Amino acid sequence: MDLPVDEWKSYVFQKWSLLPKSIQVTISTAETLSDIFLHSSLLLQPEDEMFLQNLSRGYLVEKDPNAPLFYREEGNKKFQQKDYMGATVLYSKGISHSRPHTADISLCYANRSAALFHLGQHEMCLKDIMRAQMHGYPERLQPKMMLRKAECLVTLGRRQEASQTISDLESSFAAKPTLAAAQFQILQTNLCRLKMKAQEKESLTETFPAALTKALEDMDLKGENGQVPSASSSVSLRTDPLRGRYLVATKDILPGELLVKEDAFVSVLHPGEMPPLRHLESKWDTRVTNGDLYCHRCLDHTLATVPCDGCSYAKYCSHDCMQQAWDLYHSVECSLGGLLLTLGVFCHIALRSTLIARFEDASEVIRKLCGEIRNRDTCSPERETLVQTLTCDLGGESENKGKMLEPPVPGCDLNGKYESNYNAVFHLLPHTGNHSPEHRFLCALSVSALCRRLEAASCYKPAVAVPPGSGSELDVWGVAMLKHVLQLHCNAQAITTIQHTGSKENSVTKSRQVRLATGIFPVISLLNHSCSPNTSVSFISTVATVRASQQIGKGQEILHCYGPHQSRMRAAERQQKLRSQYFFDCSCAACQNEKHSAATGPRWEAFCCRSCGALMQGDDVLICGSTSCTESVSRDHLISRLQDLQQQVGMARKLLRNDEPERAIQLLLGCQRDAQSFLSGEHSLVGEMEDDLAQAYAALGDWQKSATHLQKSLQVVEVRHGPSSVEMGHELFKLAQLFFNGQV
């Protein structure tokens, strides 16, 4: 969730409604963010903080000493059912609640290593074995785990290490005659089998495809851009009173060319469905969330998370990532997990941005913030002292006072360079005046509560030290955090990943794009919107890449879609979304063209004439588009038929899930015949039925028919989403799977 939880929003909105009119007017007409923040912070009462604290306690983010045993036992049940993936996640949850160097954590690591072994994740298995030993895995259980280690080493072709491990095992058996006879016999048999396997195994090449490694290495920008280092030399930064800052092509650009490669200045993993404890039947949640499968710092996918030593929420792909996160920001965030989940992702990003700013030269930014606070008519003596101190520390009393140079483009340094740093983030527009007074009050009060908690915890060390008695440093950074929260409304970038569905037995898997995290990308934020953009954005961990999706001529603007795409929604819906979230009316070519084709609507939603097959046109009553046909029908009637058809298709999909492909095919073929009488051949439901038929025939092993239906589905996807769309790529990948698995 980007914004605070509903309970806190309702509480704050009610508080706003009960404020005297004069105070509402004061906050509503405030001209600066510092005015909004400082006025709102004065209204935060102890009972407000107590209410927020009670909400925060609903999230289980601390380590619960009773949780490891519960999760380990639940994981064991999954393991016995051979659901090794489910077992892995549950063992990881147990690890996250365990304290270092305890029996709990060592047992959970060892059990997870067994699950990873069965999943074929041998490198991860070895790391978990090492972690189990490091945390004091019981000596009596070591032989079984060491056998697993030896088998992993043999499988990976690491013969010397495998031989040493086998030798150590033999010595261990000889030194422990007290082992039970049955246990000794089992271990001895497995050891003999492993020794034979090691002798047969000469070598094993790395399983990670070299071609993929090379492809990732080749994803570098072509040419150096001295103005925007994260962009290629093919683009240039411009500014315009109407369009603001934007990027243009400095030469003709071909489809597929890499234009921007930018690491997020800051990113926060999206918690997904993580309801508070009061909404759960059990105290401990067994569902899988993003936090169980992705590193909280670099966002890499991992099945073997390493938890923070202090909380149960933050998990990482390695100890290195954990340490980097701790040094940069998690040492402050660790004790605030429940509060940050309550206040939402935007507040979390705002805090993390200011924490990371501590490691940059943020002096000019602080100077601007202090200037805002100083210029307030109601500035208190304490805050005036704070401003003077900060300004003095930053050289504000030098001979150049009042003559400070401003960069030519906001966010650039004095040399005109626009980098992905805190200065660029700070200069993203918050659109303060476009937000409702209630929303500004919600954000300001939330940030104020966060600042109070930071002050009480004494864990926040700002970029510039302020001598004792000079006032609260957090006033300055509170204003900055409020600015970031408002900025994110228009500048947050959803970091996505491709999620595959379907079991191993399926010959064709489905994939969908899902939101993984939210980040700030200052360079990508320079791109203006188009409902039919000339670029596409993709992500690898925290790195975003922008590629040309079509030919872009020299001098043309580089355009990005903010979400409302012409292939996914009508112009009216797009305009409403852009107006409410981004505060502008779109006049791109797609919106202009759609005005002239409004009679029939998008082709993927069009109805056709039952008599001649031409497209139907109109609003409440649809008339055949052919001049030689007089057929007409009410839109409500066709929509009712469409809903009935969708229900039938849903039943067919349920049959597919229940391994009844023959019955699903019969139902889908009947649906197709019905669709031909009133739906356009390019209607999205027609394409979905072709896709479902492809899956059904693939389940029966009829690869030729499956491929035929999937190719028909491709035609509909191309009409709706375009030939270079992500959706088209997903369908082509499925077709490639069919050709490979069926040898078509």
| Mean pLDDT of the region 460-488 | 70
Res 415: pLDDT: 86
| Mean pLDDT of the region 36-57 | 94
Say yes or no to pLDDT of 482 above 90.
yes
Q: Which of 197, 217, 245 is the C-terminal boundary of a domain?
A: 197
Same-domain status, 74 and 25: no
Res 366: pLDDT: 63
* Domain residue limits at 106: 66-197
| Mean pLDDT of the region 466-482 | 68
Residues in CB range of 587: below 8 A, 6 or more apart: none
Q: Can you give the CATH number for the domain in which 108 is found?
A: 1.25.40.10
Res 430: pLDDT: 93
| Mean pLDDT of the region 200-223 | 50
Q: What is the pLDDT of residues 555-588, one digit of tens each?
A: 999 999 998 888 778 888 889 999 999 999 998 8
Which single residue is written with the structure tokens 């009960």? 18
Using 50, 70 and 90 to split pLDDT, how confident is the model at 173? low
Res 367: pLDDT: 61
Same-domain status, 369 and 478: yes
Res 477: pLDDT: 85
Same-domain status, 43 and 140: no
Same-domain status, 34 and 122: no
Same-domain status, 368 and 421: yes
Q: What is the pLDDT of residues 658-677, one digit of tens each?
A: 889 999 999 999 999 999 99
Same-domain status, 622 and 660: yes
Alpha helical stretches, state H, 394-428 = 422-426
Using 50, 70 and 90 to split pLDDT, how confident is the model at 166? confident
Res 379: pLDDT: 45
Using 50, 70 and 90 to split pLDDT, how confident is the model at 603? confident
Res 384: pLDDT: 46
Res 203: pLDDT: 38
Q: Which of 229, 236, 367, 284 is nearest to 74 (CA)?
A: 284
Question: CB of 615 within 8 A of CB of 680?
Answer: yes
| Mean pLDDT of the region 26-30 | 93
Same-domain status, 665 and 729: yes
| Mean pLDDT of the region 73-78 | 96
Same-domain status, 138 and 34: no
Same-domain status, 339 and 421: yes
Quote the CA–CA distance of 744 and 736 in Å, as a whole number. 10
Res 393: pLDDT: 39
Q: What is the pLDDT of residues 346-373, one digit of tens each?
A: 999 999 999 998 877 665 666 666 555 5
Q: Which of 505, 513, 566, 555 is nearest to 537 (CA)?
A: 513
Residues in CB range of 660: below 8 A, 6 or more apart: none
| Mean pLDDT of the region 700-714 | 90
Res 217: pLDDT: 45
Res 175: pLDDT: 65
Give the chain's mean pLDDT: 83
Rg of the chain, C-alpha, whole Å: 30
Q: Which of 153, 174, 197 is the C-terminal boundary of a domain?
A: 197
Using 50, 70 and 90 to split pLDDT, how confident is the model at 510? low
| Mean pLDDT of the region 36-48 | 94
Task: Tell whether 534 is covered by a domain.
Answer: no
Res 177: pLDDT: 57
| Global confidence as pTM | 0.82
Res 380: pLDDT: 46
Res 290: pLDDT: 87
Say yes or no to pLDDT of 38 above 80.
yes
Same-domain status, 93 and 5: no
Pairing relationship of beta strands 621-624 and 632-634 according to DSSP bridges: antiparallel
Say yes or no to pLDDT of 186 above 60.
no
Bridge partners of 245, per DSSP, are 239
Quote the CA–CA distance of 374 and 386 in Å, as a whole number. 9
| Mean pLDDT of the region 595-619 | 79
Task: Tell whether 501 is covered by a domain.
Answer: no
Res 594: pLDDT: 74
Task: Tell whether 408 is covered by a domain.
Answer: no
Task: Tell whether 470 is covered by a domain.
Answer: yes
Task: Tell whether 259 is covered by a domain.
Answer: no
Q: What is the pLDDT of residues 414-427, one digit of tens each?
A: 888 999 999 999 99
Question: CB of 381 within 8 A of CB of 467?
Answer: no
Task: Tell whether 554 is covered by a domain.
Answer: no
Same-domain status, 320 and 437: yes
Comparing 89-98, 286-295, 645-654, the range with the smallest average pLDDT is 286-295
Res 221: pLDDT: 80
Using 50, 70 and 90 to split pLDDT, how confident is the model at 596? low
CB atoms within 10 A of CB 532: 18
Question: In the chain, how many domains are there?
Answer: 3
